[in-house]
Structure 1
Amino acid sequence: MKLLKNPLLVTSIGILLVFILWVFLFTEAAYEVIEVASVWVRNYFGYFYLYLGLGYVLLLLAIALSPWGKIKLGKKNAKPEHSLWAWTAMLYSAGMGAGILLRAVQEPVFMQQNPPYGSELSPEILALEFTFYQWGFTAWAFYGLFAMVIGYALFAQKKKVRVSAAIEDVIPYSAARKGIDVMTIITTVFGLIAAIGLGTTQINGGLNHIFKSDWGLTSVLTLTILISAIAFLSAWQGLNKGIKIISKVNIIGTLLLMFFVFVTSDMSEIISSFFFATAQYIIDFVPISLAFGNYNPGMAFLTDWTFYYWAFWLAWAPFTGIFIARISKGRTLRQLLLGVLILPSLGTFFWFSVFGTSAFQVIESWGSYSGEFSNVFSSLFVFLENYPMATALNFMTILLLIGFLVTSVDSAVFVLSMFTDKGKKNPKKKHRLLWSVLILLSTIALLLLGNVKPEIDVLTAVQKLLIITSLPFALFMVVMAGLFLYGLKKASK
């Protein structure tokens, strides 16, 4: 078979199969190893993640506002392949998707009930500000850096869709370049299976809430197989036929859900909270990003939240960044970077303002709070019970979760296939089939890890796994950014 003559594909498959078999055969021992390793990474590299995030935000802003921002991804007279609306819908669906449904209520309420640090701000505004911090500029800076580097290599330098192609002029060693591509593939797979595991568990939580049932792991595994199958069919159809259509449907559905909650809640309070929390976030961005002085929430809080989020965004950076690069032909670096940093961030801020502020008002109307929104997998469904047409809204949320997961999976399958099919922009369908199966098996392994002990869940397993698997890639991204700047400076002489 030709596939067996592809060293990049064979090496990546081999590593993933070893992980899958290890977890399938020695689930509890595997979890113990992952737990110990995650503590080590947190203790020695936790703050490195923080500083890296701030550094990338400042770097991308500097490049966007510099003369380099005028560089076009493509020919000088090329126009963007996709409209601003379609481009934003696709990058948002691939980059955030199901996550904003998972955390829409649970995270702002947690921050309100457990303020990360002492502040003169009201608990509600502080909760929104810190939620914005974890979903805002930094997350999109990780994606944007990758999109910029790959987009420049792909459309300005006419290179193949591989991470190694962006640095091949500086690193001539074939083995080193293949190692970088393998690392990128493995990081991508782990970031993706984390999202699928969390998303399918939330769908299961929603179904349990609606039908007053107690479906467990078997139900989650069935949902995982279903979503993987739909995603494969979408990836099989290709970028314009499958992924683009589902992305637009996702965004429209999400906007309708948000608009319904917005107009049936205190709209003036939501708008006020959005503007005030956004302004405060911008003012406090640097000290929050450094966990400096009074803005330091402590190691335990950072580990459970910020370090985990930064590891998650890093794990998603390869496939999301490459996907964004793939759809950004015809745009300048300035349009790409400012668009990626600002548009989805503001959309996310308004989303959390709507659901967070509305949840605060629901709690206030109850008069007391007993953790009704504390379960990350059911909090949104519990919240929607306080609104008209609750059952219809809950079913709509489940459909949105499915749509977002399908978009994330098919985007990743497409990107992974481009990697292993010699960097082709439209990879062969047998690669798409192979990656769909591998992603499904890897997700099942993660779900087993998340159910190995009664006191943990999938979120716990994801937090521990990602902080380990993201570290090599985080270190590499520093090198990649330096080499990219060196290449730009050299080209501009």
Structure 2
Amino acid sequence: MGLLLFFSFFLYAETLATYNGIESLSLWVRNYFGPFYLYLGLGCVLLLIGIAFSSWGKIKLGLPADKPAFSRLEWIAMLYSAGMGAGILLRAVQEPVFMQQNPPLATAVSADIIALEFTFYQWGFTAWAFYAVFALAAGLALFHKKLPVATSNTFATLFPIKTKSFWNNNFLLFIDVLTILTTIFGLVAAVGLGASQIKGGLNHLFNASLDYRIIIALVVLIGIFSLISALSGVNKGIKRISTLNIYCTVALLFFVFLQSDMLLILKNFLYAFYRYVVDFIPLSLAIGKYNPGEVFLTDWTYYYWAFWLAWAPFTGIFIARISKGRTLREIIIGVLLIPSLGSFFWFTVFGQSAFELIASWNSYEGEFGNVFTSIFVFLENYPLQSVVNGLVILLLMSFLVTSVDSAIYVLGMFIDKGNPNPSKKQRWMWGIILTIFSVGIVLLGHAKEDTNVLTAVQKLLIITSLPLSLLMIVMIGIWLYDISKIKKA
């Protein structure tokens, strides 16, 4: 915690110097380790598919008699809200349109399908595979080994907790500190981006020129609501807000879908999904005609993989916390497939509808180019603008709240000796620290006139995700060894 406050001080006192240091280090990481992220993502997806269809898939997370604590809808709502959240609103229109106007691949299919396929790739199986790997490894330590909630406990087979040595103690401490730091960096990144989109939406709707200070106010407000939700617990605040998010998201989705070319959307959804599955391996390896180039990979794919990795520890542990009583097969299918399909349909509805609008205009002047305002510009073409835009802002706030309250809960578990229901003191403390650090990220994002929160966070996450990604390989090996023993028993 002292390390976080120390780093927060530098964000406030030496903002520009901190930004320059992150910029230089992130360039080094991208140059030398960018392709490694691709290989790791592909490996996680293939591993999980293999386990789901093997006899190991029948192993239950917990005792054979354990039953799930939440209905399937509640379970999916919570894991989706914690794992994806406001990002689907941030990129709903901007990303598919960018891909259509700047096709990353040169294949025989149309620009529309390429745009949807590549958007699926960046929001699909790989992202959720990172989450699922952490969820299953943490669930094994929590429910089978009866160990406290901590990322270091997924390494207990290799480094037994009871074995007291300088190497053991310091290595396990390093893992937990790294997890906490990576979790916080990933989370505050999302908060900064989401709050920036809310500010962009308010500027657009009211033709205002609000500066970054409104983002700071929004971050503080999100922190307050998140703390209230976290203090209420998983079964009350977190579950209820997550379920509300899903209902509101589905309502917005069908509001657009029912006023668009529904048959074309369904057709392109199915075809783009087919192309995504067929091309998944060459896309994941970035080989031949499926290599969009180093500049594109650096700006998009490497950044996304770093972002998902940064979110993987706390999202995975939270998913494990709510998945007791479910089999590995059900968890893998539920985490890998269902949220991905939901995101794919979401991006097809908004993306294809935006493509049709651009076609009707006969020209495109970058109307959807601003990541923070694109969805509001898009919704100007639909009725009930005030109601729908209000719903988007409400969704942005509530998605961010469910992400932050989940993180408060998980970080509280880490510090409260692995207690699955951390004390309210811990939740208060983490709610305050996350809010302070999120404000620091906003200041970092405005260190230079030509930068924003998005570029600052992109550079930071690539750095903080690297050591965690290297440790994932060891964690996966230990996890496979442990579940093989469970099966034999």
So what's the TM-score if we normalise by structure 1? 0.97
Q: Which amino acid aligns with 2:427?
A: R
| 2:112 and 2:352 in contact (8 A); partners too | yes
Cα deviation for residue 488 of structure 1 reads 2.1
Cα deviation for residue 77 of structure 1 reads 2.2
Residue identity over aligned pairs, in percent, reads 60
**1:82, 1:492 → 2: CA distance?**
26
**2:417, 2:18 → 1: CA distance?**
33
Structure 2 residue 469 is matched with structure 1 residue 474: yes
- Deviation track 1:12-50 (CA, whole Å, cap 9, x = no partner) reads x12211211111111111111000000000000000000
Q: What residue number does 1:373 align with? A: 368
Q: What residue number does 1:49 align with? A: 37
Q: How does 1:11-410 map to 2 (within 5 A)?
A: 13-172=1-160, 173-410=168-405
| 1:154 and 1:161 in contact (8 A); partners too | yes
**1:161, 1:340 → 2: CA distance?**
20
**Count of residue pairs the alignment pairs up:** 481
Cα deviation for residue 489 of structure 1 reads 2.6
Q: What residue number does 1:421 align with? A: 416
Q: Which amino acid aligns with 1:328?
A: S
Helix, strand or coil at the partner of 2:337: helix
Instruction: Return 408-417 or 157-166, whichever deviates more.
Output: 157-166
Cα deviation for residue 492 of structure 1 reads 3.6
| 2:59 and 2:487 in contact (8 A); partners too | no
| 2:186 and 2:461 in contact (8 A); partners too | yes
Instruction: Return 337-346 or 69-78, whichever deviates more.
Output: 69-78
Q: What residue number does 1:9 align with? A: none
Cα deviation for residue 111 of structure 1 reads 0.1
Cα deviation for residue 490 of structure 1 reads 3.5
Helix, strand or coil at the partner of 1:116: coil
Helix, strand or coil at the partner of 1:193: helix
Cα deviation for residue 360 of structure 1 reads 0.3
Cα deviation for residue 177 of structure 1 reads 1.2
Q: What residue number does 1:7 align with? A: none
**2:401, 2:105 → 1: CA distance?**
37
Cα deviation for residue 365 of structure 1 reads 1.1
**1:337, 1:131 → 2: CA distance?**
22
Q: Which amino acid aligns with 1:133?
A: Y
Structure 1 runs, 4 residues or longer, greater than 6 Å off: none
| Structure 2, unaligned runs of 5 or more | 161-167
Tell me how large the CA RMSD over aligned residues is.
0.8
**2:144, 2:74 → 1: CA distance?**
22
Helix, strand or coil at the partner of 1:147: helix
Q: What residue number does 1:10 align with? A: none
| 1:72 and 1:156 in contact (8 A); partners too | no
Q: Which amino acid aligns with 2:16?
A: E
**1:175, 1:420 → 2: CA distance?**
16
So what's the TM-score if we normalise by structure 2? 0.97
Cα deviation for residue 324 of structure 1 reads 0.5
| 1:193 and 1:439 in contact (8 A); partners too | yes
**1:20, 1:219 → 2: CA distance?**
20
**1:278, 1:216 → 2: CA distance?**
40
Q: Which amino acid aligns with 2:139?
A: G
**1:433, 1:77 → 2: CA distance?**
35
Cα deviation for residue 63 of structure 1 reads 1.3
**1:216, 1:277 → 2: CA distance?**
39
Q: Which amino acid aligns with 2:152?
A: S
Q: Which amino acid aligns with 1:181?
A: D
Q: What residue number does 1:456 align with? A: 451
Cα deviation for residue 216 of structure 1 reads 1.0
Instruction: Return 219-228 or 153-162, whichever deviates more.
Output: 153-162
**1:124, 1:293 → 2: CA distance?**
21
Cα deviation for residue 181 of structure 1 reads 0.8
**1:490, 1:323 → 2: CA distance?**
25
- Deviation track 1:200-228 (CA, whole Å, cap 9, x = no partner) reads 00001111111110101111100000010
- Deviation track 1:366-414 (CA, whole Å, cap 9, x = no partner) reads 1100000000000000000000111211111000000000000000000
**1:492, 1:349 → 2: CA distance?**
35
**1:372, 1:109 → 2: CA distance?**
10
Cα deviation for residue 174 of structure 1 reads 2.1
Structure 2 residue 460 is matched with structure 1 residue 465: yes
